[in-house]
Structure 1
């Protein structure tokens, strides 16, 4: 399984996952032309994409969804999220129940409910026939036991580490925006992400990608050290027991 994170953050999110046979995208939150360009840069032909999985219908996750029509790519999203997704040809729409499973060529995809201010936001666990498992948990205000259960025993964790609460509080954002970010249906803080990973990582060489960092309310080094400290308390060292990359 190969991961290419084509875009991450409030400006747009897009992840490419490749098995030996199939390539899928999780979210398409940047312009269609930018997705095409970045796919080609990592050696993926846009017309080889088998499916697009949408976590939720905010613009930084669906801006490039017209890519689907151009290349006739099926788009999977929770049934209620289709209320906010426009511009996809009817024959390409694939509504799925929250918590439902999907088979896409040689991928098995499990969805799980997340907690964000959208109709029915989802995370995904993608497994291939070779036994590799990748969990993708983006916008969510908190991580519950059902989410942990869905993601456990993964080889790859792609998870948001959005903000540092003190930086949010000191920011120039309006009070309503500050409250939204740190709410139980907002985004994960560095500490929340670190706590989540400390419950999931077993120190057997997992690959961790910290994503969706706020440009205004976080620092890559801060996100990184917060996770490393939490995992060090379990006796795990980066580079020895797991790999960590901040996007």
Structure 2
């Protein structure tokens, strides 16, 4: 499975995953024309997208959904999140339960299974996703205030972890954000700090060559090097070394 992170952060989020015969998007949070352009840059035609899976209905995750109407791409989201998803044609709108869905292309030996798991964010019913084939498992955990045991169980054993490392709490506290915004970010339905992300990954990464992508970094309340070093420090306590036992990239 090939992973292309087309956009990450408060300006928009969009991830393309493809096998031999199947290409899906997780979120469509940048403008339709930008998604089209970035897909073509990585060798994907927009009309090849089989489905779009939405984590939650905040604008930085659904802004580009007119793409679905243009190319008649099925869109999947939890029942709760459809309350805040506008302007998707009824015939392509699908409610996704926690059992997930399977795309199976008989004759090609190509199948891809998408299983959601519940996250903790200030939305109606937000999801993370496990996307797996016969030989590969990718976990995608974006906006969430905590990583609980059920989330860890869902993501366990992945080859690729795409997870937010949004902020450094001391930088949030020192920022000029209103107190209400600071409280939201730091809450259990806000965003993950570098340390929270590091703690979760230290429970997940075993050193089998996993690829880690740190995403959704705050431009004002984090630094890429700080996020990376925090995670590497936690993994080093397990005896794991970057570029030997795992790979890490800050997006």
TM-score tier (shorter): over 0.9
Distance 2:13 2:71 in 1: 19
Runs of 4 or more consecutive aligned structure 1 residues displaced over 4 Å after TM superposition: none
Which sections of structure 1, spanning at least 5 residues, go unmatched?
none
Aligned residue for 1:79, secondary structure, equals coil
The number of residues matched between the two structures is: 245
Which sections of structure 2, spanning at least 5 residues, go unmatched?
105-110
Identify the match of residue 169 of structure 1 among 165, 173, 183: 173
Contact kept, 8 Å, 1:51 with 1:104, in 2: the verdict is no
Which range moves more in the overlay, 15-24 or 101-110? 101-110
1:91 aligns with 2:91: yes
CA offset at residue 113 of structure 1?
0.2
Contact kept, 8 Å, 1:54 with 1:76, in 2: the verdict is yes
Residue in structure 2 matched with residue 123 of structure 1 by the alignment: 128
Distance 1:170 1:100 in 2: 42
Root mean square deviation of aligned Cα:
0.6
Distance 2:119 2:99 in 1: 13
Distance 1:145 1:115 in 2: 12
TM-score, normalization: structure 1? 0.98
Aligned residue for 2:150, secondary structure, equals helix
Residue in structure 2 matched with residue 102 of structure 1 by the alignment: 101
Distance 2:213 2:19 in 1: 18
CA deviation string 1:48-72 (max 9, x = no partner): 0000000000000000001000001
Distance 1:141 1:190 in 2: 12
Distance 2:66 2:81 in 1: 16
Contact kept, 8 Å, 1:198 with 1:234, in 2: the verdict is yes
Residue in structure 2 matched with residue 21 of structure 1 by the alignment: 21
1:156 aligns with 2:160: yes
Residue in structure 1 matched with residue 52 of structure 2 by the alignment: 52
1:75 aligns with 2:80: no
Residue in structure 1 matched with residue 108 of structure 2 by the alignment: none
Distance 1:204 1:103 in 2: 26
